[in-house]
Amino acid sequence: MADLIPVSYKLLKGMNESLILNVIRHNKYVSRSEIAKITNLTPPTVTNIINKLLEDGLVKEDKLGESSGGRPPVILKINNEAFDLIVIIIGTDIMEEYLLDAELNIRESQVDSIKKEDKEGIFKLLFDRIKDLKGKSAKEIAGIGIVVRGPVKSTEGVSVFSPNIGWRNVPIKEMIEKEFEIPTFVENDVRAMALGEFYNGIAKNVGNVVFLKVGHGIGATIILDGKIYRGINDMAGEIGHTTIDVAGPKCSCGNYGCFEALASEKALVNNVVKRIKEGSYSIVSEYVSGDLENITTRFVYKAAEEGDEVALSELNKIAIYLGIGIANIVNVFSPELVLISGGIVRGRRFIEDVVLETIKKRSFEANYSSCSIVFSNPDYNTALMGISNIILDSIL
């Protein structure tokens, strides 16, 4: 078993073995007869492959399924003792580190602050934490997943630009594989979150989805026919930098009136600060003792809960622009689902009605009526599930 996992199982054993492994993985508990129906493989073929997978320790038999009159079927599942995975999520101010088993149960987890670290310090911490987690596992590490903010060339494993930590064109995959000799997979945070929702969350079994992360910036992932649309240069999904208002504020990208510059949480904070500087009273100023540099969205949402006029009116403005941007998405892609995630979900009750009303007004009725607009669960770690599934899709 130890010799199998570091190399793609599908290359070592063949596509039918890989197909059955992934049917078991995605269905959690499944019988041999159900596998035969799903895969269109003959029962003898399924039995032979399952016997080999049991022998290799990749799957195991579990509790008996419900009987339909005869002998109850034996249920199969991925053997959670087969191998472990390491996942590192590099956020704005923190780095999250996880050791997971083959069923994606968390064995170990830790969080480090990276607020005061420079890019070299973050590199050192990243490698130290991989080494620590590797040492805590008694099993083979089948793969390492790294999630970073900003554009990523996933196939090459290169962080093109990660604005929060200053990385530019960093070959993360190459560097980690050279050091640890373990298959490494690198993905952008928005795509990882979208895949987490697609495999295990709200978007499960939905073929056409636009996942929208609205936080400090705005990013998107487009899933068409069950697969991420990446574009010819692996950079598709930069919806945050489409133009909403040519006379709008300057965006971090250098253009004016971008979706991100008008509808993000950064825009929300900027607008509240501007209103206070212009003389409008807001309790937000009292929360930070008049130091406007310390205003965050947390204070804006808190003020809105207390009925603060500035907070509520600026949230309403953000909601209108968010609705306009999503209406454009609905008209262009006609998806089954637009899933809104990110920090903005914390302000959902102040913006949802206006967002939906604006989308309805500004999109074609046929597209709007066949599309669900849903806010995600902010407590679900979608990025962790997404990058973990990327690893398993590649090795099994």
Per-residue pLDDT of the chain (396 residues; tens, 9 = 90+): 344 344 455 545 568 888 898 888 888 788 898 999 998 999 899 899 999 889 888 889 887 656 555 667 788 988 889 999 999 999 878 999 999 999 999 999 999 999 888 888 998 999 999 999 999 999 999 999 999 988 888 889 999 888 778 888 999 999 999 999 999 999 999 999 999 999 888 998 899 999 999 998 899 999 999 889 988 888 888 899 999 999 999 988 889 999 999 999 999 999 999 999 999 999 999 999 999 999 999 999 999 999 999 999 999 999 999 999 999 999 999 999 999 999 999 999 999 999 999 999 999 999 999 999 999 987 668 899 999 999 998 888
Q: Name the pTM for this structure.
A: 0.84
pLDDT score, position 26 = 85
Judge whether 29 and 65 are in contact, CB under 8 Å. yes
Share of the chain above pLDDT 90, in %: 64
pLDDT score, position 64 = 67
Specify the amino acid at residue 185. Answer: F
What's the distance, CA 246 to chain centroid? 30
Q: How many CA atoms lie within 13 A of 63 on its CB side?
A: 4
pLDDT score, position 5 = 43
pLDDT score, position 9 = 53
pLDDT score, position 7 = 45
Look at residues 160, 268, 164 and name the one whose alpha carbon lies nearest to residue 214.
268
User: Parallel, antiparallel, or unpaired for β 158-162 and 152-153?
Assistant: antiparallel
Four-point Cα dihedral 78, 144, 8, 196, nearest 10? 60
Query: Residues, the chain, total?
Result: 396
Look at residues 258, 279, 282 and name the one whose alpha carbon lies nearest to residue 269.
282
Look at residues 329, 92, 345 and name the one whose alpha carbon lies nearest to residue 201.
345
CA distances from 39 to 5, 17, 22, 174 (A): 23, 11, 10, 35
pLDDT score, position 1 = 38
Look at residues 221, 219, 184 and name the one whose alpha carbon lies nearest to residue 201.
221
User: Parallel, antiparallel, or unpaired for β 218-224 and 227-228?
Assistant: antiparallel
Q: What is the pLDDT of residues 370-388, one digit of tens each?
A: 999 999 987 668 899 999 9
What sign for the dihedral angle of Cα 148, 152, 153, 158?
A: negative
